[in-house]
Structures are given as structure tokens and as C-alpha cells.
Amino acid sequence: MRIVIANDHGAVALKQEIVTALRAAGHEVTNLGVDTEESVDYPDIARRAAAAYLAGGYDFGILCCGSGIGISIAANKVRGIRCAQVFDLYTAQMCKRHNNANFIAFGGRVTYPVPVPAMIAAYMEAEYEGGRHQRRVDKLDELC
């Protein structure tokens, strides 16, 4: 798959872990995040990744900040982006199956019950169910 990833200074190590795992699995990853701990503003990072995704060519995007909260809030303000903050294998699957999330977000300062690459794999393996969920996703997309 083709994946765009971006992060602020709160998630440099996590982003690098994710990129390494995805590339090792044969995926094409574009890194639009920062690689130092110099402070940046996560709305700028989210905007950059969202614009790249909406321009086309990516299957989905990954966003990381310290908590995963700020960057997901920012991404969800961009029309066409449905960013899910994922916490475990269940939320990783459900955000694709029911919400058709096109971005998933993680926190570099969060302790998760399973490795982040495993949650990303669960998201990638899940399939959007459509049907009654499409009406709700359409309504989501009308909110901004």
C-alpha cells in the first residue's frame, strides 16, 4: 500500500518505528513529519498530511503527536478526512469497518496494550462494511 505519515516532535521515535515496520512489510511510505525534537505545531503537520492525501495517490494516512489527540482533532477539521485515534486492535479494526477512516492517529507518549505496527496491520486488514454505515459516513463528511 501507499501510505502518508506525519508527526510532530512528540512522536519522532514512534514515527520511525512505524516507517521501519511498514517498509519492511513492503509498503511505500512517504514521511511528511519531523525527524528532530524541535518544537512544531501539530495543526500544521496535520494540514500537510491531509493535503497530500487529498491530492491522491495514497491508500491512507497515519498521524502521530505526543498524545495522538491534537493531530487527530486537526485532521478531522479538514473536509474529506476521517481520522480515528486508535487505542487497541478492536478500535483499529472498527474504525475501518464502520467509519471508513482514511487516517489513523497514535501518540508517541502513550502506552498501548499492543505494538502500534500490530494496530496498523489490523486496520489495513479490515474492510469497510458499507451498507448502513455509508449513510453515517456521508453525514460525517457533511459536517465540515
Return the exposure string of 10-36: e unless at least 16 CB atoms fall within 10 Å of the residue's CB, then b. Answer: bbbebbbbbbebbeeeeeebbbbbbee
Q: Which is nearer to ligand RB5, 47 or 133 (CB)?
A: 47
Euclidean distance between CA atoms 140 and 144, whole angstroms: 8
3-state class (DSSP) for residue 7: strand
Q: State which residue, 69 or 126, has the beta carbon closest to ligand RB5.
A: 69
Query: Minimum CB separation from ligand RB5 for residue 44, in Å?
Result: 12
Closest distance of CB 67 from ligand RB5, Å: 4
Inter-residue contact 127 to 98 (CB < 8 Å) = no
To the query of whether residue 65 is one of the catalytic residues in this protein, the response is: yes
Active site annotation includes 144: no
Q: By C-beta, is 109 or 136 nearer to ligand RB5?
A: 109
3's grid cell? 501510505
Residue whose C-beta lies closest to ligand RB5: 70
Cα–Cα distance measured from residue 126 to residue 114, given in angstroms and rounded to the nearest whole number: 17
The contact set with ligand RB5 (CB under 6 A) reads 8, 10, 42, 65-67, 69-70
Shortest distance in whole angstroms from residue 133 CB to ligand RB5: 28
Dist. CA 82–CA 95, nearest whole Å: 9
Which residue in 65, 95, 133, 144 is the catalytic one? 65
Of 65 and 95, the one with the shorter C-beta distance to ligand RB5 is 65
User: Minimum Å distance from CB 37 to ligand RB5?
Assistant: 10
Q: Which residues are identified as catalytic?
A: 65, 98
